[in-house]
Amino acid sequence: MILSEDDLLEYCHFISNNSTTSKSIILCEGEVPYFKGKNTIKAFKNSEHLQDSAFYKNCVPGSPKQKKLLFFNCGGSADVIKIFYRLKELYAKNPGDCRFNPEKVFALIDADLQDLDFSLFGYEIKNRYSLYEQLYAAGNLNDIDFKKHKIFLTGLIHKEAYFLLPENQNLFDEFRIQSMFRGKKLQLSDIYKDLIDETGNDKDLSKNFEKVKDRISHTNFDVSSIENLQKSWEKKFKEVLNDVDTENLAKSILTLRKVKIKIKNEVQDEYENKFWKEIMPDSDMIQERFLEQLSLEIAVKIRNSEPTPKNHISYFFRLLSQTN
């Protein structure tokens, strides 16, 4: 759903009407729910089941009543930031009509490769690249000053990248329906190999490489050029890897290579979903439903993981919960 200015304002009212000052609001990417009409409570309940809201909600420790976070899908990353500031403006004009605390409104968007200018809205950190440098160091999430930071980025390129970390191989293996990738039983190492092999075709990475390469400068991989990075990934992949090496390789790849992308097939003149959305169920289950169930299982695993700086999502929510 693409929001006009009038719809955007109405959606901000929808968020406000379904909030409470005691809870923090997290604005995330994902399909905007249908929010018009009188039954906004039902619309809100339905919105809680949409990706990305449902995924992030399930990453938060505690029972539903204990969770002090509300999640709202807001479209693409630029839309998220626009809604973030429209809510601020809404509160400034009519604070008595708003059911949220403006100091408890946060935006959570993908790290991505393209820039996103925050200075247009008066945010003290000028863009996505600068924000990443402040939030992350050597692949770890820094401790966060939530009074200063209200906009946050994933550490990996987007949330789906976390689904493909090596630690999730057992989850795929043990899931009640077998996962298939490009006609074979899913092995995450196959995805890493294909991501490496197809690095040269990544136009977004080529365009923005100089601006994002420092995200993995703490690794031993050669980031002097895309070609050299691809060669160093290939070399490491061919070596016999222990778990630590595999994790480091995977994280470096998933920091810079998109795993949720549409690429145009010039022969068939149509767009193909790549990587995450090439994972298929070995059954007649609808793929979208299958991937949704897998992502919620991964969310539970994240929720139960140790909240340390290298575990970005669980650590972020632990730090945020301490501010409520």
The string of pLDDT tens digits covering residues 264-298 is: 555 444 456 789 999 999 999 999 999 999 999 99
Compare 268 and 165 and report the one with higher pLDDT: 165
CB 82 within 8 A of CB 8: yes
The Cα 147–Cα 134 span in angstroms is 14
| pLDDT for res 47 | 60
The pTM of the full predicted model, rounded to 2 decimals, is 0.93
Q: For the residues of 209-245, what is the DSSP string, one character each?
A: HHHHGGGGTTSSS--SSHHHHHHHHHHHHHS---HHH
Q: What is the mean pLDDT of residues 35-39?
A: 56
**What is the total residue count of the chain?**
324
| pLDDT for res 268 | 46
DSSP secondary structure code for residue 283 in this structure: S
For the cut 50, the answer to whether the pLDDT of residue 116 exceeds it is yes
The Cα 272–Cα 118 span in angstroms is 31
Sequence-distant (≥ 6) Cβ neighbours of residue 210 within 8 angstroms = none
Residue type (1 letter), 76 = G
For the cut 90, the answer to whether the pLDDT of residue 8 exceeds it is no
Q: Name beta bridge partners: 69.
A: 24
| pLDDT for res 62 | 76
The Cα 200–Cα 209 span in angstroms is 12
What is the residue extent of each domain of the chain? 5-153+305-321, 160-283
CB atoms within 10 A of CB 228: 12
| pLDDT for res 261 | 79
What confidence tens digit (pLDDT) does each residue in 207-223 have? 999 999 999 999 999 99
Sequence-distant (≥ 6) Cβ neighbours of residue 287 within 8 angstroms = 277, 279, 280, 281
Q: Maximum distance among all alpha carbons in the chain?
A: 62
The Cα 231–Cα 187 span in angstroms is 22
For the cut 80, the answer to whether the pLDDT of residue 140 exceeds it is yes
Tokens of 73: 């899908």
| pLDDT for res 37 | 57
DSSP-based three-state secondary structure for 176: coil
Whole-angstrom distance between the N-terminal and C-terminal Cα of the chain? 32
